Structure 1
Amino acid sequence: MIRRIKYLRRLISKLSSFAVFGIGSIFLASALFPLFHLLSGFSEKRFNVISRRFVSFFFMIFVKYIEITGAMRLNVENRELLKGLKGKVIIANHPSLLDVVVLISLIPNANCIVKGALIQNTFVSAIVRNLYIPNNIPFDEQLERAKKSMEEGNNLVIFPEGTRSKPGEPWFFKKGAARFALYAHADVVPIYFGGNEKIGLRKNDKMLQFHPTERYMYNLKVLPTISVEPYNDIPMSKSAILLNDRMKTVLEEEHQKHRGLL
């Protein structure tokens, strides 16, 4: 009986968190973005700086809300490695729906490659259109926009899998993340998402699902930076494969440690 009560409490917390996120996103886009335009003197660069930092702050408050309500717990190992990051490509495995929110809450100057379909999403459309790079525009344009953003001091958040992992299946990394890093000559910072199974937040899970025995555990580990310098003199067609393999190996090795297989 107690276990069922805990489950229901966490499920209600999860659903209320989605409501808070939706309402907060609409308020941010409809009320605060116009204010930020005024405060920035209608300078796109200043608007982006203010807006990115506020979105990061909003996501941080959102994550804290989920923690306080008992639906999740966030632990970050080597958090100090994220302090002052500029012009880096941030990669991570992608087990759940909240991964990008968690990362942006930790990185105030984050740009991101997002699904183009989110432009049609009522809740986040304005945020995506104003701040992030949709993946349905030509790839050359994505490369240029990402490079320009990193040259301005932002970090690019991207999940090499391109979509959420399927539980129990091997990871498949696309070469896009490596190409962004190589094109911009930007080093790569890998972040591993560990913890328990994110039942209800995984790919193809149902909204009313939740972990049956405990809250969502997000145990993140910031891993050592991968330099792109060794790949500078190698043609992009080959260097992207090599760097992609390196990124996948680093995250898979950490995944094996997490599962106690190494």
Structure 2
Amino acid sequence: MIRRIKYLRRLISKLSSFAVFGISSLILATSLFPLFHVLAGFSEKRFNVISRKFVNHFFQFFVKYIEVTGAMRLSVENRELLKGIKGKVVIANHPSLLDVVILISLIPNANCIVKGSLVQNKFISLIIRNLYIPNTLPFDEQLERAKKSMLEDGNNLIIFPEGTRSKPGEPWYFKKGAARFALFANTDVVPIYFGGNEKIGLRKHDKMLQFHPTERYIYNLRVLPDISVAPYKDMPMSRSAILLTAKMKEVLEKEHDVH
């Protein structure tokens, strides 16, 4: 009986968190973004800086809200490696729906590649169009926008090499896109491993009313040493992207095997 009460409490916390996120995102897009444009003097560069910082703080609040309400516990090992990072490609395995929110809450100057379908989501479409890079754009345009964001604006590009959330119990398949972004911009890669328990209710194809049957969501993140792109610079892009992708997969799978 007690276990069932705890389960229902965590499920209610999850649903309320999604409601808070949706309502807050709508307010941000429709009310605060226009204000940020004014505060930035209608400078796109200043607007992006203000907006990214605000989204970072909002996501920090959102993650803390989920923790306080009892649906999640988050720990980050080697967090100091993220302090002051600029112009890096940040990669991670992708077990759940909350992964990108957690990463943006940890990285103030974050850009990311997002599903183009999110542009149709009325709660976050304006946020996506203003700050991030939809994967429906031509790939060459994605490369150029990401390179400019990293090298000129000092942002960090978050990208999940799998391209979508992992399927429980199945091997990871990494696409070459993350490697191509790093090689094109000539910037190193920061791997982050998402560990913890099974994210039932947040995985690919899970239903909204699902939740882990016995405990809250446990997110144990570990920031790993940078992967240098230097060994791959003098190779043809087709070969270097394959080798760098294999290296990224090796690093994250090794961490996965340990945990």
TM-score under structure 1 length normalisation: 0.98
Q: Tell me, in whole angstroms, the C-alpha distance in 1 between the residues paired with 2:123 and 2:104.
A: 17
- Corresponding residue for residue 201 of structure 2: 200
Q: Which residue of 1 aligns with 2:118?
A: 118
1:119 shift after superposition: 0.2
1:84 offset after TM fit, Å? Answer: 0.1
Q: Distance in 1 between matches of 2:179 and 2:61?
A: 31
One-letter code aligned to 1:101: V
1:226 aligns with 2:198: no
Deviation at 1:210, TM superposition (A): 0.2
Gaps of 5+ in 2: none
Deviation at 1:124, TM superposition (A): 0.8
Q: Deviations over 1:130-174 (max 9, x none)?
A: 000000010000000000000110000000000000000000000
Residue of structure 2 equivalent to 1:83: 83
Per-residue deviation, 1:105: 0.3
SS of match in other structure, 1:224: coil
Which residue does 1:3 correspond to in 2? 3
Tell me the residue number matched to 2:42: 42
Query: Helix, strand or coil for the counterpart of 2:220?
Result: strand
After TM superposition, which residue ranges in structure 1, 4 or more long, deviate above 3 angstroms? none
Q: What residue number does 1:176 align with?
A: 177
Q: 1:8 and 1:22 mapped to 2: Cα distance?
A: 21
CA–CA distance in 1 between the matches of 2:164 and 2:247? 19
Matches within 5 A, 1:85-104: 85-104=85-104
Counterpart residue number, 2:253? 252
AA aligned to 1:198 is: K
- Could you tell me how far apart the structure 1 residues matched to 2:80 and 2:258 are? 22
Deviations 1:194-242 (A, max 9, x none): 0000000000001000000000000000000001011110110100000
Matched residue, 1:18: 18
Aligned-residue CA RMSD (Å): 0.4
Query: For 1:15-53, what per-residue CA distance to the aligned partner results, in whole angstroms no more than 9, with x for missing partners?
Result: 000000000000111111011101111000010001001
| CA displacement, residues 88-107 of structure 1 (integer Å, 9 cap, x when unaligned) | 00000000000000000000
* Cα distance in 1, alignment partners of residues 203 and 4 from structure 2: 22
SS in 2 for 1:192: strand
Instruction: Indicate the residue corresponding to 2:149 in structure 1.
Output: 149
Instruction: Return the alpha-carbon distance in structure 2 between the equivalents of residues 247 and 49 of structure 1.
Output: 29
Separation in structure 2 between the aligned mates of residue 178 and residue 196 of structure 1, nearest angstrom? 28
Question: How far apart in 1 are the matches of 2:64 and 2:44?
Answer: 30
1:240 aligns with 2:228: no
Paired residue type of 1:209: Q
User: CA–CA distance in 2 between the matches of 1:80 and 1:127?
Assistant: 28
Counterpart residue type for residue 182 of structure 2: A
For this pair of structures, how many residues does the alignment match? 258
Aligned position for 1:159? 160
What letter matches 1:95 in structure 2? P
| Letter matched to residue 3 of structure 1 | R
State the 1:122 CA deviation: 1.0
Name the CA distance, whole Å, in 1 between partners of 2:103 and 2:154: 17
Which residue of structure 1 aligns with residue 74 of structure 2? Answer: 74
What is the aligned partner in structure 1 of residue 60 from structure 2?
Answer: 60
CA-CA distance at 1:71 after TM superposition = 0.1
**Mind listing any 5+ residue stretches in structure 1 that lack a counterpart?**
none
Provide the secondary structure at the position in 2 that maps to 1:84.
coil
Partner of 1:130: 130
Q: Percent identity?
A: 82
